């Protein structure tokens, strides 16, 4: 087997695979502006309608034994032109929000610690917005049986204040109230915590009427939906953007085209959740654990709706009942996601290499806590990986060093049998066998590195912890490309030098292809995240150091062996 040919295809294959992966992904980061019809009403996309009551009942509640009559959804229900006004302003240390007095809808969520770009610190990421070109809303409410009014997201709520700011206590509660005027009242409370992107929603029904109240809570996320636009030169476009649903066992990202072609996707699950993800950020609705919920995701025009509606409960006269839901609006900080539900880590999409990427991220996090710099963490973890596989790659390196020492004999065989390729191949294989050299050994380090390379790629691409993280000097954001292409050039030079340490075997065409591989890699890596290039540069430099040491050892051993053979061949004096 020709070592150089395998190396060539191994290097080339990884680049082809990554290019194919990028172009095959169905969703990408949304374009900055979505087309809106000139005659489209402003408030039309801001209301996706009311979810129908579900016949689900809470298994822990044995008071519900009669079937529930589901009211028909009236698609022509009147809507108000001032659907999102007035609003309550809420400020925590990490979030700037607006809550509409109409239904208590979360209609704005600005990430105070996350600018859109590092060179635009004043332009912050908005996960929720009333902008018709970038809709993001979280609507919540109660559906009820009967003909009376209900506290859904179209109902008018009242609040004692129009602005709230978190104080030194670290906890902020925003209450809102609604009443039907006939004895049924609802209090909606949002609870915020300092440093957290978790929002706790409590909806409490109090029945002061003389008849039973029967209904259920719901929460739904409205987000813009768009056709993907991918680019090899934009790492953001490699990430999925759209709805995600978890059924208590596994998660599924739902593609826009499938939802349009097949219609709404619905499941019934316990301990599930639903959300909308994009590069580095997530909006999720996590119902109260242990309750059976109906989750539904649909697309209408340029709006996707992901909803959860819980079991129907009965509130007798003189009684109250509280519905609990957790909402997450923020970056995919894995520590905060795990505190809510360990399955929420699935919103961080590491793909099929999660089995490597998750431990790798954990290791990087530990290194970061030690050094306080993600670039140094990448270098240190690369060194640890290199040490872990040192013995395995050492055996490969020794074989490569022996191949290098056999170069003159290999060239002699190629010259002797230049007109008989079959005999040339057989002679070379005999030489390899006689000298105990594996010509394919040089491929082993590449095969070992490939899964870690791809895992590093997705960790750097998807982990918000490394978003806009600086390293040193000109590298101010490890998650984006090197602005001056210095690291890719260093990497190309290191790969070129690495080639000089390894044997150059094969026909002239293969040798020339290998010689231009550093140039090809430099071009590819020029648009990869600088953190990934830093990993590859570090790994290449460590490989050079290891191979240089092995070459010296093998060369010394060869000279010692040659000396012993010469001494053994001398005849004693007087014989």
pLDDT digits (tens, 9 = 90+) for 122-133: 899 999 998 888
Tokens linked to 310: 């819980």
Residue 169 has what pLDDT? Answer: 93
Tokens linked to 364: 């990087």
Under 8 Å CB-to-CB from 203, ≥6 apart: which residues? 140, 141, 142, 151, 186, 187, 188, 189, 217, 322, 323, 325
What distances in angstroms separate CA 28 from CA 14, 258, 283, one per listed residue? 22, 16, 17
pLDDT-above-70 percentage for the chain? 71
Under 8 Å CB-to-CB from 430, ≥6 apart: which residues? none
Cα(310)–Cα(305) distance, rounded to whole angstroms?
Answer: 16
Residue 131 has what pLDDT? Answer: 86
Say which DSSP state 483 is in. T
Count of beta carbons in the 10 Å neighbourhood of residue 23: 11
**In which band, very low, low, confident or very high, does the pLDDT at 155 lie, cut at 50, 70 and 90?**
very high
Angle at 241 between CA 240 and CA 247, to 5 degrees: 85
Most confident stretch, 205-214, 384-393, 471-480, 560-569? 205-214
Residue 442 has what pLDDT? Answer: 56
Cis before residue 109, ω within 30 degrees of 0?
no
423 φ, ψ to 5°? -65, -35
Place of tokens 């030079």: 493
Cα(237)–Cα(228) distance, rounded to whole angstroms?
Answer: 8
**In which band, very low, low, confident or very high, does the pLDDT at 24 lie, cut at 50, 70 and 90?**
very low
**In which band, very low, low, confident or very high, does the pLDDT at 388 lie, cut at 50, 70 and 90?**
confident
| pLDDT of 16 strictly over 60 | no
pLDDT mean across residues, the chain: 78
Residue 403 has what pLDDT? Answer: 66
Query: What's the full length of the chain, in residues?
Result: 575
| pLDDT of 397 strictly over 70 | no
Over the stretch 91-140, which tens digit does the pLDDT of each residue have?
999 999 999 999 999 999 999 999 988 888 889 999 999 888 888 999 99
Cα(341)–Cα(337) distance, rounded to whole angstroms?
Answer: 6
Residue 313 has what pLDDT? Answer: 93
Average pLDDT over residues 500-529: 71
**In which band, very low, low, confident or very high, does the pLDDT at 146 lie, cut at 50, 70 and 90?**
confident
pTM across the whole model: 0.77
| pLDDT of 45 strictly over 60 | no
What distances in angstroms separate CA 553 from CA 275, 384, 513, one per listed residue? 57, 23, 29
Tokens linked to 232: 């090899």
Tokens linked to 101: 């007095």
Which secondary structure element, helix H or strand E, spans residue 273, and what is its range?
Answer: strand 273-278
Under 8 Å CB-to-CB from 166, ≥6 apart: which residues? 91, 92, 93, 172, 192, 194
Among the listed ranges 163-167, 316-320, 332-336, 567-571, which one has the minimum average pLDDT value?
567-571
Q: Going along 104-231, which residue ranges are E strands?
A: 106-117, 120-128, 136-144, 163-165, 171-179, 184-193, 198-207, 213-224
Spatial contact of 554 and 405, defined as CB atoms under 8 Å apart = yes
Residue 3 has what pLDDT? Answer: 40
| pLDDT of 424 strictly over 90 | no
Place of tokens 């590093």: 456
Say which DSSP state 50 is in. P
Average pLDDT over residues 239-243: 84
Domains of the chain, each with CATH number or no CATH: 3-21+357-564 (no CATH), 49-347 (2.70.98.90)
Under 8 Å CB-to-CB from 81, ≥6 apart: which residues? 43
Residue 74 has what pLDDT? Answer: 34
Cα(396)–Cα(335) distance, rounded to whole angstroms?
Answer: 39
Angle at 182 between CA 178 and CA 187, to 5 degrees: 20
208 φ, ψ to 5°? -110, 15
The residue among 565 and 96 whose pLDDT is bigger is 96
Residue 369 has what pLDDT? Answer: 92
**In which band, very low, low, confident or very high, does the pLDDT at 332 lie, cut at 50, 70 and 90?**
very high
Most confident stretch, 231-235, 460-464, 486-490? 486-490
Most confident stretch, 226-240, 286-300, 348-362, 520-534? 286-300
242 φ, ψ to 5°? 160, -170
Among the listed ranges 25-34, 129-138, 383-392, 420-429, which one has the minimum average pLDDT value?
25-34
190 φ, ψ to 5°? -105, 130
Residue 12 has what pLDDT? Answer: 52
| pLDDT of 28 strictly over 70 | no
Over the stretch 538-547, which tens digit does the pLDDT of each residue have?
988 888 887 7
Over the stretch 249-295, which tens digit does the pLDDT of each residue have?
888 888 888 888 888 899 999 999 999 998 899 999 999 988 889 99
Residue 445 has what pLDDT? Answer: 61
Cα(332)–Cα(275) distance, rounded to whole angstroms?
Answer: 12
Tokens linked to 261: 């072609």
Tokens linked to 201: 């929603």
The residue among 4 and 401 whose pLDDT is bigger is 401
| pLDDT of 198 strictly over 60 | yes
**In which band, very low, low, confident or very high, does the pLDDT at 186 lie, cut at 50, 70 and 90?**
very high
Among the listed ranges 30-39, 144-153, 353-362, which one has the minimum average pLDDT value?
30-39
Average pLDDT over residues 316-327: 95
Q: What is the DSSP string of 421-471?
A: HHHHHHHHHHHHHHTT--TTTTHHHHHHHHHHHHHHHHHHHH-GGGTT---
Residue 236 has what pLDDT? Answer: 64
Q: SS3 for 269?
A: strand
| pLDDT of 65 strictly over 80 | no
Cα(564)–Cα(531) distance, rounded to whole angstroms?
Answer: 49
| pLDDT of 560 strictly over 60 | yes
Residue 302 has what pLDDT? Answer: 84
Residue 202 has what pLDDT? Answer: 97
Count Cα neighbours of 493 within 13 Å in the Cβ-side half-sphere. Answer: 6
Query: What does R_g of the chain's alpha carbons equal in angstroms?
Result: 32
Residue 566 has what pLDDT? Answer: 63
């Amino acid at each position: 087997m020709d070592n150089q040919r395998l190396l060539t295809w191994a290097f080339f294959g990884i680049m082809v695979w990554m290019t194919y992966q990028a172009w095959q992904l169905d969703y990408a980061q949304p374009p900055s502006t979505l087309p809106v019809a000139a005659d489209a009403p402003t408030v039309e996309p801001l209301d996706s309608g009311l979810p129908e009551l579900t016949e689900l009942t809470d298994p822990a509640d044995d008071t519900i034994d009669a079937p529930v009559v589901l009211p028909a959804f009236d698609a022509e229900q009147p809507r108000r032109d001032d659907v999102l006004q007035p609003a309550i302003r809420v400020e925590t240390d990490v979030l700037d929000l607006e809550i509409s007095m109409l239904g208590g809808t979360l209609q704005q969520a600005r990430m105070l610690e996350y600018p859109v770009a590092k060179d635009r610190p004043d332009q912050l990421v908005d996960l929720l917005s009333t902008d018709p070109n970038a809709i993001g809303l979280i609507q919540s409410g109660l559906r009820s049986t009967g003909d009376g009014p209900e506290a859904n997201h179209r109902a008018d709520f009242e609040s004692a204040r129009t602005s709230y700011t978190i104080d030194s206590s670290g906890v902020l509660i925003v209450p809102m109230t609604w009443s039907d005027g006939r004895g049924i009242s609802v209090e909606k409370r949002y609870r915020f915590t300092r440093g957290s992107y978790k929002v706790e929603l409590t909806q409490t029904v109090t029945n002061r009427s003389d008849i039973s109240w029967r209904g259920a809570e719901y929460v739904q996320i409205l987000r813009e939906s768009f056709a993907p636009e991918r680019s090899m030169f934009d790492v953001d476009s490699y990430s999925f953007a759209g709805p995600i649903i978890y059924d208590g066992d596994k998660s599924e990202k739902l593609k826009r085209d499938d939802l349009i072609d097949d219609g709404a996707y619905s499941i019934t699950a316990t301990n599930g959740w639903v959300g909308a993800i994009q590069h580095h950020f997530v909006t999720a609705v996590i119902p109260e654990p242990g309750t059976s919920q109906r989750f539904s995701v649909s697309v209408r025009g340029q709006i996707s709706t992901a909803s959860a509606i819980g079991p129907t409960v009965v509130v007798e006269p003189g009684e109250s009942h509280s519905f609990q839901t957790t909402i997450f609006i923020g970056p995919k900080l894995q520590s905060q996601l795990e505190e809510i539900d360990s399955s929420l880590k699935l919103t961080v999409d590491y793909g099929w290499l999660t089995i490597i990427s998750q431990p790798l991220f954990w290791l990087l996090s530990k290194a970061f806590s030690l050094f306080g710099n993600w670039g140094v963490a990448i270098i240190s973890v690369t060194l640890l990986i290199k040490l872990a596989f040192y013995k395995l790659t050492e055996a490969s390196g020794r074989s490569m060093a022996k191949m290098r020492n056999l170069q003159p004999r290999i060239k002699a065989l190629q010259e002797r049998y230049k007109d008989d390729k079959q005999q040339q191949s057989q002679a070379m294989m005999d030489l390899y066998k006689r000298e105990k050299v594996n010509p394919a050994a040089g491929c082993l380090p590449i095969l070992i590195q490939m899964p870690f390379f791809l895992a590093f790629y997705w960790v750097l691409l998807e982990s918000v912890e490394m978003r806009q993280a600086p390293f040193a000097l000109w590298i101010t954001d490890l998650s984006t490309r090197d602005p001056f292409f210095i690291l890719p050039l260093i990497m190309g030079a290191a790969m070129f030098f690495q080639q000089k340490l390894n044997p150059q075997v094969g026909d002239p065409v293969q040798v020339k292809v290998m010689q231009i591989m550093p140039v090809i890699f430099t071009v590819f890596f020029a648009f990869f995240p600088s953190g990934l290039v830093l990993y590859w540069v570090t790994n290449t430099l460590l490989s050079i150091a290891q191979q240089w040491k092995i070459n010296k050892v093998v060369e010394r051993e060869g000279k010692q062996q040659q000396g012993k053979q010469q001494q053994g061949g001398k005849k004693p004096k007087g014989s």
